[in-house]
Every structure is written in C-alpha cells, then in structure tokens.
A and B are shown apart, each in its own frame.
Chain A
C-alpha cells in the first residue's frame, strides 16, 4: 500500500518558526517532524510515499530527496497554491493506487499509530484518538464503530474522540471527497463532515503517539515527546570531566568541553562546541553547528541549527530558531504568562521565550516569559523584551 503525506502547508500560527520552512520541517529532537511520519510509515512496510509539497518545498526536497536514506521511495506532487487537503489529494491522485493511506505530515506519530490503521482491513476508514483538548480539533462522534458526526473545533465539550487526519482511502472515497469539495469545504475533514451522515465510514481507534503543534509554544512539548523515544549514541569528542546522565546523543564532530553537565533525555547535533562548564538539562534539543559557552544553562529548550549562545545565559522552556546569536547573559526564564498569536491570548503555565531565526541578541537581555520574538530582529544590550516583536524589529 502507498501513502500520501500532506506537507504543503505553511503553519501560519507557528510563525516565526515557519518563516523559511514549512511546518513539517520544524525540527524536534533534531529531526523534522515529517521524518517521524516517514519512519512510522516505513516501519509498517509502507515505502512508496507521495509527498504533497508546496510552501518552501525545496527545504523538504533537499532533505528527503528520493527517500533512499530513509528507506522510502518518495515521489513529489506540487500543490502550487495551498487550497486545502482535499485539493492536495487530487494533485497526488495520479501517483496512487486504488487503496492508500492519507497522513498529515505535521503531527508527531510513531509506528503504532500507523499499524493500527494498516492492521484494520475493513476498507476506507478514519483513524481517531483521544485528546485532552478536543476543542482544538475535529471532534468525532462514533456509534458502534461508525463515524456519525464531525464537529470542527466545537465550543462546548461534546466528547474527547478526535480525528487524527489519518485515513485509509480507496477510489470510491476519493471520488466522493473530490465531488464534495466546494462551498468553502476544502479540507478533507470539512468534506467528510457533510458526507458521514450518509455514508458508512468506520472509525479506527489508536493509542499510538499523535501529537500536534498548533502554536509556537507547543513545540516545547512536541520536542520533549520526540526526545523520549531517542536512543543514546555518543560521537564527537567528550573531554574529561564531563558528566552525562540519562539518554543523551551527541553528533559527530561535536566537542563537549570539560565541566559540562548534561542530563538526558537530550540530543546534541553535529559539529557543536559546548562548554566548558555548560549545563544542559532534560528535554533539550541542540541542533547542528551550535556553540554554547561557559556557565550557560538550558532546560527543556529547543535550539535549532547554527545558534550561538554566549556565556552566562539561562534559558528554560524556550525555542531558538536557526542562526540566533546571543552575545552573553541572556535570561529567558520559564514562567506563567499570557502569550498572543493573531490577537488571541493564551494563558500558559510554563513558558520561556520564543525567538525566530537569525535574530541577534546583545548582552544582558531579558526575554519575558511568553514573548515571541520575530525572525531577523536586532536586540541591543540591556533590553528587556516583553510581548511580541515583528520580524526584523530593531530594539535598542
């Protein structure tokens, strides 16, 4: 069986982390979210994968290429304009057989999630899971094993079973979905919403992993979940006097200098220079080519590639995108805060600072909990940042 993986969307609500990459390419545990999806499929023997790409497609194509490195055979279908998931399916159609899986590329899943659906042999079906916050998703009502109703982001609490966006399709269902597009219904879920009362669509329950990142701060949790399954693999040079506890992986060409303390789960990429005497605490990912200087502490952080963190910095529950440079003494502590995305406010129990790619931060800067700093900002020394900063802001 083949699978079509939907990877064309930008992920606007995750800005600034999608300035130069689509949502599926955001790295968690040092691998793009999409890589977890592809591995889950390959582990279930699904090697022929059609990737529907669009926004910043080159980042996907240059990473996955023909899929060989990942044990898959990838074909690309380009969706020039992001006209929804139903449209994406019709673009991928010519590469597909009668029966195939449809998988969202931007949810962290594991092989069990896929095997639950592959193992079900009752034809076209929808994979559903339980969620603690169903109101963010399409809530599904099931009678027997049949989906009878779908409510997109319902106001009240009507149930905790949600659609994972993973389906088993055949030609008939594909045709029905294609016919159902129109009148503003452009997502697969929207189309099915109208169709399910009239048709027989079984729901298949999964207890496998299914984690979604909708807002920038969700990345902290997704990263932690991704790290939880990583193994330990130490390459590079570990100087004497380094303490490594728990499951920690260190990439080739990385040097961990003396006095550094690392507690896993954590992953450190290739070609990094860490310490001397830096501290990295659990659920932290450090990308490739990152430098972390002395007496800096990172806890539960997602640090992407080519980031420089000067000495005496403290970061907790924070995200630093590619190429962020911190001179010295940055404080980005975790706390309870209100964060804002597109004029919506969210109360978050524990969040640090979220910083977009290429931003340069001077010495002694404080980023208040829950602040979202855009890409390419320049923040002068001694500044205290509260609230959100647009891309390319200059603060002195």
Chain B
C-alpha cells in the first residue's frame, strides 16, 4: 500500500503536500518523495519516514505538485526506488499506488527504444510510456499510457510548465478535494480534511484533471462526467477514533483482537525447535521502562514459574550504567515503540557484554529490532493514546509465550500442561470481552475514586506488578496520586496513610495468596478506607470484607493479570473522564520517549 497526494492552487505546494502526506503515513512509510512545478520541475525523495524527508527538504518553490509515501512491493526501499519518477526528458513527474503486472515486458520494450531506467520499480514504466504518448495534452497521454498497462493503480502526474495535476484510478483509492482557488487529489479523504470537506469520489476507470480553477472528471471512454461533490461532516479526530470518545477507550476495546492477533501462529509452534529454548543461558534478565517494566515484572513470575529459570529485572536507564556481572543471561528487552532511547542503549550494552538478546516490541522494523538477536512482535496495531493499553496486554501475551517456550525446552512443563495453557490463552480474547461487557459496573465503581486525593493499589505475587500498572494508569491520566504496593508491605509504612478518604483497590484472585489478601483487605477496612476489590466471578468471601467487588471470569491465577489489568485500565479511564482530563494526551507525557 502507498499513499499519494496532489495539489494545484495558489499557495506554496510543499507544505500542503507534506502535511497531507503525513495523514497517509498509515499506508506506508519506508520512503517518501515530492515533486513541485515552479519555474522548473523539482523532485526530492529519500528512504525513510516523511518526517525524515521533511528535515532534509531543500527549498522548492511552486504552487503545483505531487507527493508520495511508499510501502515497498516491487523493488526494495531505497532512494532510487522512491517516487516520484521522472521521464528521460525531465518534463514529467509521476507517483503511483498499485501494481503494474506487465511491467517487465513493457520495460524491455522501452529499454529497446532507448529509455533509461533509474529504479527497480514497476512504476517507472508509466512515466516513460507517458513521455512517448505525449503530444501536447498530458491527460490524453496518461489515458493512452494506462491503456497499455495491466494492473491496478491510483496515479498522479505533473508536467513542467503546467499548473495541472492529472490523475486516474483503477482499484486503488483516489479522491479529489475541492477548495477555493485550489484543488487536491489524495488516496484518502483524511489527507484533505485540513483543507476542505468538499470531495469528489473518483470511480474505477475514471481520470481527473485538477487545476487551480477547477476539476474535470472523465470516464473510461473519455466522456466528461458531472458529479455532485459530497460533503464530509467528520473531522480528522472523529475519523480516527471510530466513534469512541477517546483513543484510549477505542484501544481498550481492541484488546481482544490484539490478543488474538498476537497469539496467531505462535501458539502453534511453541514446542517446535526454537533458539531461545535451547540456548545455554542459566538466567534471564528483563530490561524495560515505564509500563513495559510492569509487564516485565509479570514476566519474571511467569518465566520463573514455568521454566524454573532465575529471572531478574532492571530498568533500562539503570542497566546501562550497572557494573555487569560475569553471568551471561538472556536479555529480554521490552519496548512498545522499539525506539525508547534507554532501552536501545541497554540492548547495545547487553550485546557488548556478550549476552543473547530478545526484543518484544509492537513496531515492525523499529531500531530495537535491528539491535537484537531475536524479535517477538506483539501485533496490537498502532496505539495512539499515550497511556499504553492494548500494547501492555500483548506484551504480557509475549511473555507468557516466552515462558511457555522456555518451559517446554527445559522440560519444566509437560506437554499436557502446555496443552491446557494453550487452550486457556486461546480463550483469553473471550474473557477480556466479558470484562469489557461489564464496563458499567466499572464505571460505577469510579464513585469511590473520583474525589480522592490519594489511592492505594494492593496485590500479591503475580498481581503485585498488576497493581503497580493500575496505579500508574490512574496517576498518568487522571492526575490522582496513586501508589501500588505489595500487600504484605502495607504494615511496613503505608498503613499510616490510610483513612476514610483514601480508597484502596485490591486484586484478590483465588490463588495461594488469597487468604493473606483477605487478611490485608480486612486490615485496610479496619482503618475505614473504602475497599474496591477485584475477584473471580465465583468468589463468595470478598463481599464480606470489601465495599464493592468487580468480578472477572475465572481463569488460572497465572493468567489473571491480563483480566485485572483490563479492569484497572477501564477504572483509570472512567475516573479521568469524569474529572475531564485530557486522556489521550496527559500533560508532560509523550508516547515514545526517545530522549535518555
């Protein structure tokens, strides 16, 4: 998939072409390019993201132009293979989204006729064909050119000395935007919403000529088509949030699918030969920052429980400067973006020390993936809300799978328990959906938190990191001071802070720590603190000690962090929403921390 933009108007084209192109970055981002017609045709392109292109962009003057963001299909990502392409005479520049199936044959003929090719792409044949077909009318030449090709396209062309952009489509999307004294063309209407909400949808086989004065549409036979413009009533934000109030809520509701996608393929080959399982390392060290660090803490319990392998944790910003021991653990680096500066530095440090490295990240091709021996991709899809939600849940999935792989390779779990764990993981999307269906109970429970100055979160064992994450979520988006504590540590200090105005959220699943948790909750209740407990659906004892209970489906305790985390994420979301906080962009925080 690629994205294309065209502009013809009275403003300087560069800024508009780049800005609109950024809205199409979801369509691909391995290289980008731009062509502007001013006194002469100027073309600039490079490998890498649009932001990178923008940084190095020379001054380009002109009010007509096209731009392109590429996702390589034919020809590797490189500067040469980036669009736009220019013909041999330097008059035409062309961008294309789609696949030209007969490009090999066409290319041979064109080379035989003396054309010089500069790239490995299928697209380049179009611009040379255009050059041959041109007899004074760019539109006619493009129509002529497209008759010769087999395949799919959305294509836009500019010609030196002309203020028109000529475009056409077959099976790839194209939309024309209508402005005042300026007009646009793009792969997707979201690219244009900053400039106009009046659009013409170009249908299959149609072509368009866009000039500052107007737009003309033609059908396949060359007849001019009249079409009423459509008015787009949504804004950029609405478009992307798909009906949800905030990205965070949208992304929480995407968790069942994210879990399903992350498990796909991996669940099946856990027991197949794998390098991580068989490698000789006697311990594991998980290195991460922020929420990823909490996932890492859950991972420690999982890996130790399933594979009997000693596991330690370190914050990435600390690991880099730690003295390092003689031991050579498997170093697992967890980073949503794969660009977290501290985690990257830690990966380099681990390799320098001679450790085997394993990354868990959500972004394919991110820097971290190039620094490590093996990568596990969580397939959560893009996450826009600053608070990690679905990426956190899928990091947990990744760590469960790692624990299971190591357990099988080391013989600490048998095939039968692997089978039942697999079956339970496979059902996890359904269990998360059940938690989401219970959203109204969670929303009501925010009564207990919304007016609090401080909130404590307590849990034990594998749910100790879960409550740390719950506290982090609450403080980062609702600005309520929140602390997560191992429940056993309460009596070593925090108990002094509890009173009737300090609510406590307790994760109490039926595992070997359940009785202790009940005792802790009673301890808290005795200080008059309101208690919100989270327990299994079949729990009968929590009601007696807690003020309110949120119930989750019954799963094996080792998997309970996934469900409790979803509850805590929703709790933080609804609390912040009631307080009117800017949920998707909390003050002072950024999504991916690329500074050290």
B40 at the interface (CB under 8 A from A): no
A308 at the interface (CB under 8 A from B): yes
B441 at the interface (CB under 8 A from A): no
Are B433 and A291 in contact (CB-based, < 8 A)? no
- CB within 8 A of B426: which of A61, A289, A358? A289
A64 at the interface (CB under 8 A from B): yes
- CB within 8 A of B230: which of A56, A58, A97? A97
Contact A323:B250 (CB < 8 A) given known A237-B268, A271-B260, A308-B423: no
Report the stretch among A72-80, A110-118, A151-159, A196-204 that lies at the interface: A72-80
- CB within 8 A of A289: which of B203, B238, B260? B260
A53 at the interface (CB under 8 A from B): yes
Are A76 and B260 in contact (CB-based, < 8 A)? no
A48 at the interface (CB under 8 A from B): yes
- CB within 8 A of A253: which of B238, B268, B429? B268
How many Å lie between the Cα of A67 and that of B173 in the bound state?
14
Are B430 and A253 in contact (CB-based, < 8 A)? no
How many Å lie between the Cα of A95 and that of B265 in the bound state?
42
Among B238, B241, B242, B423, residue most surrounded by chain A Cβ atoms (within 10 Å): B242
- A residues in contact with B553, CB < 8 Å: 358
Interface hits, A5-54 → B, CB 8 Å: 20, 45, 47-48, 51, 53
- B residues in contact with A270, CB < 8 Å: 260, 264
How many Å lie between the Cα of A68 and that of B191 in the bound state?
13
A66 at the interface (CB under 8 A from B): yes
A317 at the interface (CB under 8 A from B): no
How many Å lie between the Cα of A328 and that of B241 in the bound state?
43
Contact A62:B254 (CB < 8 A) given known A76-B242, A322-B433: yes
How many Å lie between the Cα of A62 and that of B203 in the bound state?
28
Interface hits, B235-267 → A, CB 8 Å: 238-244, 250, 253-254, 257, 260, 263-265, 267
Are A306 and B430 in contact (CB-based, < 8 A)? yes
- Chain A residue with Cβ nearest B422: A273
Contact A255:B429 (CB < 8 A) given known A61-B242, A65-B250, A76-B242: no
- A residues in contact with B109, CB < 8 Å: none
Q: Contact residue range for chain A?
A: 35 or more
- Chain A residue with Cβ nearest B240: A66
A129 at the interface (CB under 8 A from B): no
Among A66, A71, A252, A308, residue most surrounded by chain B Cβ atoms (within 10 Å): A66
Are A323 and B253 in contact (CB-based, < 8 A)? no
Contact A20:B257 (CB < 8 A) given known A66-B240, A97-B230, A97-B231: no
How many Å lie between the Cα of A262 and that of B231 in the bound state?
49
A288 at the interface (CB under 8 A from B): yes
Are A75 and B436 in contact (CB-based, < 8 A)? no
- Chain B residue with Cβ nearest A252: B264
How many Å lie between the Cα of A271 and that of B268 in the bound state?
8
A68 to chain B, nearest CB (A): 8
A2 at the interface (CB under 8 A from B): yes
Contact A64:B242 (CB < 8 A) given known A253-B263, A308-B427: yes
How many Å lie between the Cα of A97 and that of B263 in the bound state?
44
Interface hits, A229-271 → B, CB 8 Å: 237, 252-253, 255, 270-271
- B residues in contact with A47, CB < 8 Å: 201
Among B233, B238, B436, residue most surrounded by chain A Cβ atoms (within 10 Å): B233
How many Å lie between the Cα of A95 and that of B439 in the bound state?
29
Interface hits, B397-446 → A, CB 8 Å: 422-423, 426-427, 429-431, 433-434, 436-437, 439
A42 to chain B, nearest CB (A): 11
Interface hits, B85-129 → A, CB 8 Å: none
Are B189 and A58 in contact (CB-based, < 8 A)? no
- Chain B residue with Cβ nearest A323: B430
How many Å lie between the Cα of A308 and that of B242 in the bound state?
32
Are B260 and A358 in contact (CB-based, < 8 A)? no
How many Å lie between the Cα of A94 and that of B234 in the bound state?
11
A165 to chain B, nearest CB (A): 23
Are A58 and B234 in contact (CB-based, < 8 A)? no
Are B230 and A62 in contact (CB-based, < 8 A)? no
A305 at the interface (CB under 8 A from B): yes
A57 at the interface (CB under 8 A from B): yes
Are B260 and A45 in contact (CB-based, < 8 A)? no
- A residues in contact with B239, CB < 8 Å: 66, 73
How many Å lie between the Cα of A237 and that of B265 in the bound state?
9
- A residues in contact with B233, CB < 8 Å: 75, 94-95
How many Å lie between the Cα of A20 and that of B426 in the bound state?
19
B535 to chain A, nearest CB (A): 17
How many Å lie between the Cα of A271 and that of B238 in the bound state?
32
Are A2 and B244 in contact (CB-based, < 8 A)? no
- A residues in contact with B426, CB < 8 Å: 271, 273, 289, 291, 306
- CB within 8 A of B189: which of A53, A65, A73, A305? A73
Interface hits, A263-320 → B, CB 8 Å: 270-271, 273, 288-289, 291, 305-306, 308
A286 to chain B, nearest CB (A): 13
A361 to chain B, nearest CB (A): 14
- A residues in contact with B437, CB < 8 Å: 20, 56
Contact A255:B268 (CB < 8 A) given known A73-B189, A308-B427: yes
- Chain B residue with Cβ nearest A19: B437
- CB within 8 A of B434: which of A53, A71, A74, A358? A358
Are A20 and B433 in contact (CB-based, < 8 A)? yes
- A residues in contact with B201, CB < 8 Å: 45, 47
Contact A323:B242 (CB < 8 A) given known A58-B436, A253-B267: no
Give 1 or 0 for each of B336-366: 1 = CB within 8 Å of chain A CB: 0000000000000000000000000000000
- B residues in contact with A76, CB < 8 Å: 242-243
- B residues in contact with A51, CB < 8 Å: 243
Are B430 and A2 in contact (CB-based, < 8 A)? no
Are B430 and A74 in contact (CB-based, < 8 A)? no
- CB within 8 A of B429: which of A53, A60, A305, A358? A305
B75 to chain A, nearest CB (A): 26
A227 to chain B, nearest CB (A): 22
Among A2, A20, A45, residue most surrounded by chain B Cβ atoms (within 10 Å): A20
How many Å lie between the Cα of A109 and that of B429 in the bound state?
29
How many Å lie between the Cα of A62 and that of B241 in the bound state?
9
Are A75 and B268 in contact (CB-based, < 8 A)? no
How many Å lie between the Cα of A61 and that of B436 in the bound state?
13
- Chain A residue with Cβ nearest B255: A62
Are B264 and A271 in contact (CB-based, < 8 A)? yes
Among B189, B231, B239, residue most surrounded by chain A Cβ atoms (within 10 Å): B239
Contact A75:B265 (CB < 8 A) given known A58-B244, A306-B426, A322-B430: no
Contact A45:B203 (CB < 8 A) given known A20-B437, A289-B427, A306-B427: yes
Are A252 and B242 in contact (CB-based, < 8 A)? no
Contact A62:B257 (CB < 8 A) given known A20-B434, A48-B230, A289-B427: yes
- A residues in contact with B243, CB < 8 Å: 51, 53, 57, 60-61, 65, 74, 76, 78
A101 to chain B, nearest CB (A): 14
How many Å lie between the Cα of A128 and that of B197 in the bound state?
35
- A residues in contact with B240, CB < 8 Å: 66
A98 to chain B, nearest CB (A): 10
How many Å lie between the Cα of A65 and that of B240 in the bound state?
8
Among A56, A60, A71, A271, residue most surrounded by chain B Cβ atoms (within 10 Å): A271
How many Å lie between the Cα of A51 and that of B234 in the bound state?
13
21 contacts between A and B (CB under 8 A): A45-B201, A45-B203, A57-B243, A61-B250, A64-B242, A66-B239, A74-B242, A75-B233, A76-B242, A97-B231, A271-B264, A289-B260, A291-B426, A305-B429, A306-B427, A308-B423, A308-B427, A323-B431, A323-B434, A358-B430, A358-B434
Residues of B at under 8 Å CB distance from A?
173, 188-189, 201, 203, 230-234, 238-244, 250, 253-254, 257, 260, 263-265, 267-268, 422-423, 426-427, 429-431, 433-434, 436-437, 439, 553
Q: Can you add 9 more A-B contacts, CB < 8 Å, to A65-B250, A76-B243, A271-B260? A: A62-B244, A62-B253, A73-B232, A73-B234, A271-B267, A273-B422, A291-B426, A308-B423, A358-B434
Kindly list the 8 A-B residue pairs having the minimum CB-CB distance in the complex, ordered from nearest. A65-B242, A76-B243, A253-B264, A323-B430, A306-B430, A62-B253, A61-B243, A253-B265
